[in-house]
Chain A
């Protein structure tokens, strides 16, 4: 009976955990704090105001092909796009903005078929 009670207590404790707490408990040590993404999928830049290049984390649900799109922040026009083949989890990459005009932009993560998985705004200054 004592063993059953202990087992039940353990189940209850685990049920009280949130996903966030799980990620926080087991962070990827290779990912700097500024690039950590709590959700299972997403895209995150190290800084929002960028001048030359900026580190980026692309967190993916599965291995596969994905698109990273840069859209104009005003008219949503696509002005740059790359296809990446990457693995599940965090992928530390870069965004190069030196040849982009000074303006506001939106960086977008989609799957191969243009389904949006995440996005973040940034400014080239």
Chain B
């Protein structure tokens, strides 16, 4: 009796495993990026199943991530082939069953599920292939090839390309109608490492010392140098960019508008003093030597005549001529009213030195796998602005000049090795009043000592006042300047080119205006913008008016 039972069990086990085939589906070629064509082959694996003459299978694909292109029958000549498709449906596998068991799922669909076999789902499309032939299908032959275009998952509702194709059921039959037990392989088809696609929201943070961020614009270019995105920064210095693609390398640059109203405040006597000191004491480029600068980028920004990143007397005299309102004959690069000369680059490498060259790296590559690549900090500087009043001060180590190369007699910092940040404040009195002759007198009263240079940009109402004269009482050795930058704006100041004589205390500057109409007082008629000085040791003085 025991032998009989063992025999029965053995027979039943054999019957249960006998005659199983497979349906395989897999990509023909590897795909790597959005837009690639995914070719899927659907293949017969006979295994130990019976001779197949009818093959019918049903699969679904994610239509938010794949776009159907074509399907091509691979059936042999003489075979019948049919394709059906329904968009907006998804198969509901039989509960408590093996989803890989294709004939069980087929039976569920055909005989058991009724209206419950599929449900509507906008993200999915169902494809069904039927091939019938009079002779047995050859093991390993393909049934059909499908081509899909890989779509961008941006805004698709999906974070990845997992399980985007899934075989639902298969109906393998022999010529006599006997069902061949069938399994599928793999259970689902996924794609990994797909690059490209919309990078989504990309953020640029502008880095500048200028408080007015909305005057800056950005331009993003592709590898061909074509502009792909432009715009302006908001008041916080941020710009949100869309339309960039993952795994594509771009360049970014920032520019300051040439009609900004304060450009004549960028390059001042403080910059002049620094450039003069560099010309006197150093005259060296990025290769080293004695220098008064803290950063190599100052060599670039101080080279206002554009003769190769070397700061020399030509540059200092060019700035002096600019402040004096004298036309030098050179075409200079000084940032001034109506003219900007921008430098910009990724902040982490802004002003770095590589192979004796100051660099402004601009390239970046958004990656879907790294959210930190969706933001860049873009630093910006202006030619002539060597004291960084409106420019970003570098933070990269390789952009700093060696302490040993710095001279201590005249530096923008108070001591070699310390960085640019040292400024002083001093009280002065700027005041206008009407004198006994009916003229408006604007006096600059100063008790500040040791100033080798000073500058004041004075704004007045040209419809009410006419500038008649500027009276200097700065001492005998100072080079004084006053020039009307534009109607209603006069620049007044002094500078000793030997960096030794100082501005006399008292009332070094007095502006005399004639009223163009009868006035009883001057409130608001004269205001002041730039008001700064520089001491013999290079320290910048920011004037405070009580």
Q: Which residues of A contact B (CB under 8 A)?
A: 53, 56, 67-68, 70, 78-85, 92-101, 107, 114
Contacts and interface: CB of A to CB of B under 8 A. Distances in A.
A15 B5 CA distance: 128
Interface of B is mostly: loop
A80 B528 contact: yes
A94 B521 contact: yes
A99 B459 contact: yes
A82 B431 contact: yes
B228 interface: no
A99 B431 contact: no
Nearest to B460: A99
B430 interface: yes
Interface residues of B, number: 24
Contact of A94 (B459, B460, B520, B527): B520
A99 B523 contact: no
A95 B488 CA distance: 17
A114 B520 contact: no
B433 A84 contact: yes
A68 B527 contact: no
B523 A93 contact: yes
Nearest to B432: A82
Nearest to B441: A83
Contacts, number: 70
Given A80-B528, A93-B520, A99 B432 contact: no
Contacts of A94: 519-521, 523
B523 A82 contact: yes
A78 B525 contact: no
Contacts of B462: 99
Contacts of B546: 78, 114
Contacts of B430: 81
Contacts of B261: 101
Contacts of B432: 80-83
Contacts of A79: 527-528
B431 A96 contact: no
19 contacts: A56-B523, A67-B431, A70-B523, A70-B524, A80-B432, A80-B527, A80-B528, A81-B432, A81-B545, A82-B522, A84-B433, A93-B521, A96-B464, A96-B524, A96-B525, A98-B464, A99-B460, A101-B261, A114-B546
A96 B459 CA distance: 12
A94 B430 CA distance: 20
Nearest to A99: B461
A56 B525 CA distance: 14
Interface centre among B459, B460, B525 (most CB of A within 10 A): B525
A88 B461 CA distance: 29
Interface in B417-460: 430-433, 459-460
A96 B461 contact: yes
Contact of B523 (A92, A95, A98): A95
Given A81-B431, A84-B433, A100 B524 contact: yes
B521 A99 contact: no
B217 to A, nearest CB: 22
Nearest to A70: B524
A97 B520 contact: no
Nearest to B429: A81
Given A82-B431, A84-B433, A97 B524 contact: yes
Contacts of B525: 80, 82, 96, 99
Nearest to B524: A96
A66 to B, nearest CB: 10
A82 B431 CA distance: 5
B525 to A, nearest CB: 5
B72 interface: no
Interface string B507-546: 0000000000001111111111000000000000000011
A13 B200 CA distance: 79
Most chain B CB neighbours (cut-off 10 Å) among A70, A81, A97: A81
